[in-house]
Amino acid sequence: MFLNKSELAAYIGVGRNNVYHILNTDPTFPKPVYITPSRPQWLDAAIDAWALARSNEAQKQKGGRAA
């Protein structure tokens, strides 16, 4: 399922402004898919994979505690 920016923010539990911050600072965050030229969308499966990888990395670095 594709998520727009508002849906993406709710899906990962952050505000819309934080979505912009993540997009600008996290090179591992999935790139949007443009179904139309002005409407970025994110695939929920790609977001799930990013979140899992981020959680796994945090557990390795902090001894089992997710960031």
CATH 1.10.10 holds for 2-61: yes
Predicted model pTM: 0.81
Residue 63, pLDDT score:
62
Residue 49, pLDDT score:
97
pLDDT in tens, 10-50: 999 999 999 999 999 999 999 999 989 999 999 999 999 99
Residue 5, pLDDT score:
94
Domains of the chain by residue range? 2-61
Does the structure show a pLDDT above 60 at 67? no
Three-state SS letters, the chain = CEECHHHHHHHHCCCHHHHHHHHHHCCCCCCCEEEECCEEEEEHHHHHHHHHHHHHHHHHHCCCCCC
